[in-house]
Amino acid sequence: MSDGDEIGLREASDLLGLHYMTVYRYVRTGRLPARRVGGGWLVRRSDLEALAPTPAAPTERGRRGRPRHELRVGRLVNTLLAGDEAGAWTVIHEALASGATARAIDIELIGAAMREVGERWAAGAASVADEHRASAIAHRLIGRAGAHVSRRGRHRGRIMLGAPAGEMHSLPSALLADVLRAEGFEVHDLGANVPTEAFVAFVAGLDPVWAVGVVVTTKPPARALVPLVRELRRRATVPVVVGGAAAIGVALPLPAGVSVSQSTEEAAALLLRGDGRRALMPSGGGTL
Ligand code: B12
């Protein structure tokens, strides 16, 4: 018998803004507690709240008054964690269809969803395998969405991105790469854990390079960061922008000509400008 707090899977999927099969998968995998009644399942409304994402920046409003953007991030988190790639793409596709920019898709949607995946993992609500599967799907979503948001025609310059040896997060540069491509740049993203020599030789061989972005996500920043940036400046005299979650508020002994960005927006602006010569660390740690 239902106790009033319980609802069927159809209503639950409607409330979560997810496909029925995604919610069914949650039940079958134990992510959503459920009670079998006759041929169907009942779940508690209160358990649905645990699946809701943390609030994101409000934009337009959805049917139930929750910001549409927040609903999309929530649906993306849920589909990513359920391994529902088709459902995840539907969320991205809807956002593209409503005119979302590369920034909105990559940073505000996929990036926000991956940060939430990290919160769930840190809280023990998602396994390491769930997180790996979500990351793999996120990479493919970025690739598919990229084809829709990249600008065609002659490019404005070439930007190199990558993470130093020891830094295993590749999504941050993949996300920023699409934002820069949408601005008309040719972007080469070397991804995570790039050996110093390989990174420097590649940049030096790709002359002319407009700017290089080096991203660190895990705190403390990978030990290879400083030697990499020094070598980049020594052998390829290009503007270098260091950034990412692990660079925020950190004093790094970096050479002159290297900017340390404190946000995604700032990193994008510095790379697009290509001057990279401004010392940004308020503590004075940005240049030596
Ligand atoms: C997916 C993931 C992984 C995957 C990465 C898969 C991949 N291919 O990228 C795997 C499983 C490999 C992984 C490994 C680890 N992870 Co992890 N991971 C994550 C997770 C869930 C998502 C990362 C992500 O893509 N975020 C989305 C983007 C949008 O986030 P972002 O960092 O803000 O990125 C933006 C900015 O960096 C910005 N940006 C700003 N300035 C600049 C400048 C430049 C030049 C560029 C290019 C970009 C840029 O661009 C991005 C776009 O907006 C995060 C959670 C989180 N909060 O991010 C944890 C997280 C980053 N991981 C964490 C940890 C602890 C680890 C491990 C140490 C776990 C372990 N014990 O092994 C290892 C790290 C190993 C290493 N040495 O690097 C912690 C880090 C905590 C800390 N103190 O640093 C987090 C925050 C999880 C948590 N809540 O604790 N992880």
Average pLDDT over the chain reads: 86
Beta carbons of 232 and 238 less than 8 angstroms apart: yes
Q: Contact at 8 Å (CB) between 171 and 138? A: yes
Q: Is 16 in the pocket of ligand 1 (CB under 6 A)?
A: no
- Cα–Cα distance measured from residue 180 to residue 198, given in angstroms and rounded to the nearest whole number: 23
Domains of the chain: 1-51 (1.10.10), 56-149 (1.10.1240.10), 158-273 (3.40.50.280)
Name the band, by pLDDT with cuts 50, 70 and 90, for residue 3.
low
CA distance 186 to 285: 31
Cα of 239 to ligand 1 centre, how many Å? 24
Share of the chain above pLDDT 70, in %: 88
Residue-wise pLDDT tens digits, 215-271? 999 999 999 999 999 999 998 888 999 999 999 988 889 988 899 999 999 999 999
Mean pLDDT of 260-283: 74
Q: Is the peptide bond before 208 cis (omega within 30 degrees of 0)?
A: yes
162 lines ligand 1 (CB under 6 A): no
Residue nearest to atom 11 of ligand 1 (CA): 132
Check pLDDT > 90 for residue 90.
yes
| pLDDT per residue as tens digits for the range 26-43 | 888 788 889 988 888 999
Which of the pair, 133 or 208, is modelled with greater confidence? 133
Q: Which two tokens stand for residue 146?
A: 């990229």
- pLDDT tens digits, residue range 187-228? 999 999 999 999 999 999 887 899 999 999 999 999 999 999
Dihedral of CA atoms 274, 275, 276, 281 in degrees, nearest 10, equals: -130
C-alpha 57 chain-centroid distance: 15
Q: Which of 117, 189, 218 to mutate for ligand 1's pocket (most ligand atoms within 8 Å of CB)?
A: 218
Q: How confident is the model at residue 57 (pLDDT cuts 50, 70, 90)?
A: very low
**Pocket lining: 150 vs ligand 1, CB cutoff 6 Å:** no
